[in-house]
Amino acid sequence: MRGEVPLSSSVEIRTLTTPQELFEAAAEDVVHTANDAVGQRGCFTIALSGGSTPKSLYNLLATNARTSLPWDRVFFFWGDERHVPPTDPESNYRMTEETLLSKIPVAATNVFRIPGENPNAAAAAEAYEQTVQKFFGLQPGQFPSFDLILLGMGPDGHTASLFPGSAALREKSRLVVANWVEKFRTSRITFTLPVLNAARRVAFLVSGTEKAAALHAVLQSDAPGEQYPSKLVRPGDGSVIWFVDRAAASELSTSQ
């Protein structure tokens, strides 16, 4: 099964048969979005996601797009990070460095990681917020317009490190916060919803049957966004595309 189901003018679902097809479709979208951004604005700003599904995408980009993208004009950020040093096995940055950044010709000055090694998670979030503000030249009250934000979705419907019922879901003015995640008994450093919703394009990558119930709740139910945070990602002036495999889409109605 391979299909495209438009939900509205700005939200699209693409269902691919296998995880590999999902990675390939997402990689094509990244390359197209990047080249379009560079052609229009001279650079491409992307916020990366952690997790197993993006890891496979990064491996594919490193292999197939190494020579097809203007890497000197690509600027890397992260949508969220664990409160750990960059050398920690749990670090989103470390995973991206190993699978993508170390394999492409990108300058260190084009990479902006979250300082998760700071023992004070709130201070790490504030520092990263200042990094983003400086790069985009933002005034107080403004939010950055990333060309592309890559997101995953957990079986509980969380995205980035915005978990169901967590305090960060109510944040309206900050760009980056330290969000306490009760079930892990730790803070995660994450972009806020206003940042996700200011993006020009958001791409969700969702794979596996364990995500099926949450995907249905997010896309085709009246469940509250506080319960399924991915449901709250709807850029006002941007587009959202969901790359899902057949297993994740197994509970979706094709009539919608």
pLDDT of residue 254: 76
Q: At what angle do helices 92-99 and 52-64 cross, to 10 degrees?
A: 30
| CA dist 225 → 39, 126, 192, 199 (Å) | 36, 26, 14, 19
- Mean of the pLDDT values across residues 101-112? 96
pLDDT of residue 112: 98
- Mean of the pLDDT values across residues 7-28? 88
- What is the band of 52 on the pLDDT scale with cuts at 50, 70, 90? confident
Express each pLDDT in 181-233 by its tens digit: 998 999 999 999 999 999 999 999 999 999 999 999 999 999 999 999 999 99
Express each pLDDT in 112-166 by its tens digit: 999 999 999 999 999 999 999 999 999 999 999 999 999 999 999 999 999 999 9
Residue ranges of domains in the chain, CATH in brackets:
3-251 (3.40.50.1360)
pLDDT of residue 11: 87
- What is the band of 2 on the pLDDT scale with cuts at 50, 70, 90? very low
d(CA 146, CA 233): 14
C-alpha angle 89/90/91, rounded to 5°? 95
The model carries a pTM of 0.95
Bridge partners, 202 (sequence order): 149, 240
